[in-house]
Structure 1
Amino acid sequence: MFIVFSGLPGSGKSSIAVKLAARLKAVYLRIDSIEQGIREAHVLAAGGEIGPAGYLAAYRLAADNLRLGLTVIADSVNPLKITRDAFQAVARGAGVGMLEVEIVCSNAALHRRRVETRPSTVAGLTLPTWEQVEKRDYEAWHRTPFRLDTALLSVEECVDMLIAAMHRE
């Protein structure tokens, strides 16, 4: 199965995705880690922008591991229809089921506190500011994802709900 996370920075995606990957013994692909590796390799496009490189690498890694019969979890903001559709094409190409998960934090004050106080768990990665999170381009979904609100649910509750949802897929 391919489990694809999306949601704004600080919403709780990575906390949930890491716990889920550990419980399932799944392959964990974090776009932040891939993109930071690209930055450290100094292979950025003109203008210093990472562009789609991290996502393109993740699609390939996911496809490789899905074809091996492994469960794969992709952890990224996944803010655009084009990235969501590309993840879906990977699952289709590998012939596996897919669970699209959107993590939200409906309490703006809590979300802001998380963004402003969380430490980076990717060495060298500069985390976005609250202002950057608020201004981030994040398109509305054209399909209905499995949505979890971390203002109302703990990480463990989210993981339990995702495992239950996987069994229904």
Structure 2
Amino acid sequence: MGEEIEERRRMVIAMKGHPGTGKSTLAQAIASLLKFPLIDKDDVKDCAAPLAAATTASLVNDLSYDVVFRLASTQLRLGLSVVVDTPLSHRSHLCRLADVASVSGARVLIVECRPSDLTEWRRRLESRGTDDQTNWHKPSTWRDIEMLLESYGGCTEFDVGDVPRLVVDTTAPVCFDEIVSTVLDFIVSNGGSFGAPLATDR
């Protein structure tokens, strides 16, 4: 029994990456295949639109992170692993997530989406901005992304310490299933055990 519990140690799969990099698409695929709850910061922030006119964008953003961390904590206490989809743009966010995981004896793994093809990244971003008018808080133009990166001032490139991290190029000339398989291999190599074999055909 003890060995089985150890094999199925809870995990927090922490997505990382800027808007439009394919982070959410990959998070959804991983959560679906592994049957892990997906906690998406955008879902929380989408519901906070009524607050946006009454308070600052920074406060809404901080509140959204607070909700994400609280939801993750609850799922971990229930014995579930989770996929957490946030930009993870500040080291403080990783520290808080690590604290949440530590309380439940869970392990944090980072999956970072970093596209090498800026033209394709721009195309995806601006296409999404045109098609999805409900996500009022998301950058919808390349200039929005440039301004966002300028505001970060390089803080997104922080040292993750001993937290295992996989960087994936979401614009690489390979099929999406191959990217998903790479992430699954990374999770398994870092202690993930998911019982029955996972099919990656989509």
Same fold per superposition (TM over 0.5): yes
Alignment partner, residue 195 of structure 2: none
Per-residue CA deviations over 1:50-108 (Å, capped at 9, x if unaligned) read: 13011110001001101111120011111111112111111112211111111011111
Q: CA deviation at 1:158?
A: 2.0
Alignment partner, residue 169 of structure 2: 149
Name the SS for the 1:124 alignment partner: coil
Name the SS for the 2:47 alignment partner: helix
Q: Which amino acid aligns with 1:78?
A: L
Q: Please tell me whether the aligned partners of residues 38 and 44 of structure 1 are also in contact (alpha carbons under 8 angstroms).
A: no
Following superposition of structure 1 onto structure 2, how do residues 62-73 of structure 1 map, counting pairs within 5 Å?
62-73=72-83
**TM-score, with normalisation over the residues of structure 2?**
0.76
The counterpart of 1:47, out of the listed 56, 72, 80, is 56
Alignment partner, residue 100 of structure 1: 110
CA 1:161 to 1:57, structure 2 compared with 1: closer, same or farther past 3 Å?
Answer: same
Per-residue CA deviations over 1:26-72 (Å, capped at 9, x if unaligned) read: 100110110111224x3776335413011110001001101111120
CA distance in 2 between counterparts of 1:45 and 1:86 reads: 27
CA distance in 1 between counterparts of 2:53 and 2:82 reads: 27
Q: RMSD between aligned alpha carbons? A: 1.9
Q: Please tell me whether the aligned partners of residues 22 and 170 of structure 2 are also in contact (alpha carbons under 8 angstroms).
A: yes
1:134 partnered with 2:155 = no
**TM-score, with normalisation over the residues of structure 1?**
0.89
CA distance in 2 between counterparts of 1:88 and 1:48 reads: 25
What is the percentage of aligned positions where both structures have the same residue? Answer: 27
- When structure 1 is superposed on structure 2, of 139-148 and 16-25 the one drifting more is 139-148
Q: Which amino acid aligns with 1:139?
A: T
Q: Which amino acid aligns with 1:155?
A: F
CA distance in 1 between counterparts of 2:147 and 2:106 reads: 34
CA distance in 1 between counterparts of 2:98 and 2:80 reads: 16
CA distance in 2 between counterparts of 1:43 and 1:114 reads: 26
- When structure 1 is superposed on structure 2, of 100-109 and 47-56 the one drifting more is 47-56
- When structure 1 is superposed on structure 2, of 126-135 and 7-16 the one drifting more is 126-135
CA 1:132 to 1:63, structure 2 compared with 1: closer, same or farther past 3 Å?
Answer: same
CA 1:46 to 1:25, structure 2 compared with 1: closer, same or farther past 3 Å?
Answer: same
Unaligned runs of 5+ in 1: none
CA distance in 2 between counterparts of 1:43 and 1:9 reads: 19
